[in-house]
Amino acid sequence: MSQEQTTAQEGQAAEAALALEYAIPPRQRFNPFKWARREPFGAFGLVLIGLVVFLSLAAPVLRTSPPNEFAVGPPLAGPNADNWFGTTARGKDVWSRVLFAGRISLKIGIATVLLGTLGGTLIALVSAYAGGAVDFAVGRIADMFISIPGILIALVLHSSISADLPDLPGLQRQELYLVIAISLFFMPGTYRIMRGTVLELREATYVEAAQVVGSSSFRIMWRHVAPNMFGLMIVITSISLPAAILTEATLSFLGLGVPIGGLDAVPSWGADLSGSSRRFFSVAPWLAIFPGLALAITVFGFNIFGDSLRDTLDPRLRGRI
Amino acid sequence: MTRYIVRRLVAVPFMLLGISFFLFMLLYIRPGSAAFAAIGSVGDADPRAFENFEKRFGLDRPWYVQYGDWLWGALQGDMGERLTPPHDDVMGDIIEVLPNTLEIGLLTIFISSVVGVSVGVLSAVRRNSILDYGFRGITIMGLSIPNFWLMILVIYLPALWWGWTPARQWVVFTDEPIYNLSLAIWPAMTLGLASSAGIARFTRTSMLEVLFSDYVRTARAKGLRDRRVIWGHVFRNSLIPVITLLGLQLGGVLGGVVIAEQLFTVPGLGRLALEGVTDQDYPVVLATIMVFAFVFIIVTLIVDILYTIVDPRIRY
């Protein structure tokens, strides 16, 4: 083997090593099992979420009675073979109520984060691109919203607009109120994060590079800016969802949420923990335990899933949201 | 620094003006219903009574006159009178209940920062130990347990087990300080534990970040004892982001106080606000929420200024 050959080989090896170090890694196919092994908490959260979604959607076939039906069992019976979670003072089946209540939680939660995240992002885009006075005004309005605790905004909206809202298809008046009130919690925060991101992305070197090589602005938006925002939007959505569910329960608990009492009453974990049933908590603790436990498990599942989703999609955000 | 503080201070009245205008417009969208609700609770809803009511509280005037009037009064510390009989002075009611809310809020922040920071520090120093895993499990559960449910459990489970429950007949601090604290500790503890979970997690992350920084390695390399390194270098530096978090959690704490006051029957600002909403008594709603916003803005300002004191590197 000659001297030159060795050097050539060494050179090739070094080049290969360099290439390995600086190469863009090939796009890996997302493997859910690998992800689950790396993020066991997140996977467990996903299992819990799946369970909650399944139980609420399949509620009618899971040995439930209509949630508002009286005298399904004897009044204030403890958990037993017929009524797994016991019964209320009027003999309503707690198991059925807990399962059906999951529906309203998920519905309001999802509608809220969609409106909050999309609305916040849209406002951020408009404000960042308009700049100047518009940007300034929107920023100060966001400051204002951030300096009123969310529950209090909901209180004000309850006494102002809630009675005048229309019934939308699939979304009752009170539900619409909840969605608007709760999404107002998340909009200012989303707006702030998104505005920062848009401004940052606009100045990014790769956007500049794309402009230099003559990419159209649509292509730049679609290929370079949007993908970086989608990840963030998914993260914000998954982090806000448990908070939205919790807020719905809190507002319903305070009597500002879904209609309680009467035939069109909507079973809700928060509402079932409030009002008249509170009188019986010290004699019938299952009334207090099961709705709260269901709420806690749901929020817990979304929390740990959202956390690991954030770490997977955008580790830089750890500690920021 | 001084310029920054002055600039922030100047912004405060503008923020409050904006918030008051926004809230006013929202609440005055339906002025008729307010009068209606109030009259309805007094007696029959006769149209003449309705008119008289509107005249008495000036609700028949155009909105800008009403807002100007309200603003002029508010600047002099007059928040109007309640629409519901016996038409108390709103400011008087607020001054009566505000100390209770502030007491619970401050206790909550105290408990949550002490518990949160200690758990976070222990977790970080003994990272990946059983203690750390235990704490992390507990904190993530603490973040998921709804605080109103925790309060319900605190109230009703002891009643079930031992026939004892936290007393719910409020006594003000100036009357019986010790007894008052024994009452306030329950809502503060339940709220504080929930928000300490967030602080603990944040402290842990931030401690870990500092633990692996270059200056900590230098401090170790020059032979400083572990305790010196942890308290002198790591702890102080990792507290900086935690202070911001405390400021951010304030909104949650104030919201939680509203619920705590309701469940533990504490006569406070939150209960006053809820009362106002139920009675459609908007001078009460407007005034209480303005006070909440005022407290929030001032505390956030203090936190931001604290920030520059703790971390001299930050210059605005």
Q: Do B143 and A303 touch (CB under 8 A)?
A: yes
Please check the confidence at residue A109 and state whether its pLDDT lies above 90.
Answer: yes
Could you say which residues from 159 to 188 on chain A have a Cβ atom under 8 Å away from some Cβ of chain B? 159-161, 163-164
What span, in angstroms and rounded, lies between the C-alpha atoms of B93 and B81? 10
Judge: A250–B148 Cβ closer than 8 Å, yes or no: yes
Q: Does A243 touch chain B (CB under 8 A)?
A: no
Partner residue opposite A288 with nearest CB, options B153, B273, B278: B153
Say which residue the tokens 């009752």 belong to. Answer: A172
Lowest mean pLDDT segment, chosen from A299-308, B68-77, B84-93: B84-93
Question: For A253, which of B148, B252, B276 is closest by C-beta distance?
Answer: B148
ipTM value for the complex:
0.81
Taking an 8 Å cut-off on Cβ atoms, the answer to whether B140 and A304 are in contact is: yes
Burial degree of B62 (CB within 10 A; 0-12, 13-18, 19+): exposed
Angle (deg, nearest 10), helices B90-125 and B177-211:
40
**Among candidates B263, B246, B241, which has minimal Cα distance to B196?**
B246
Burial class (CB within 10 angstroms; exposed 0-12, middle 13-18, buried 19+) of A13: exposed
Chain A CA closest to residue B15: A144
User: Mean pLDDT throughout B10-29?
Assistant: 86
pLDDT tens digits along A234-247 = 888 888 899 899 99
User: What's the pLDDT band for A321 if we cut at 50, 70, 90?
Assistant: very low
Distance, C-alpha B289 to centroid of its chain: 11
Cα A80 to chain centroid distance, Å, stands at: 35
Of the partner residues B165, B254, B285, the one whose CB lies closest to the CB of residue A159: B285
pLDDT grade for B316, boundaries at 50, 70 and 90:
low
Q: What is the pLDDT of residues A28-45, one digit of tens each?
A: 677 778 878 877 888 898
- Rounded Cα distance between A129 and A199, Å, is 8
Whole-model pTM?
A: 0.83
Whether B43 shows a pLDDT value over 70: the answer reads no
- DSSP per-residue letters across A257-303: SS--SSTTPPP-HHHHTSGGGGGGTTT-THHHHHHHHHHHHHHHHHH
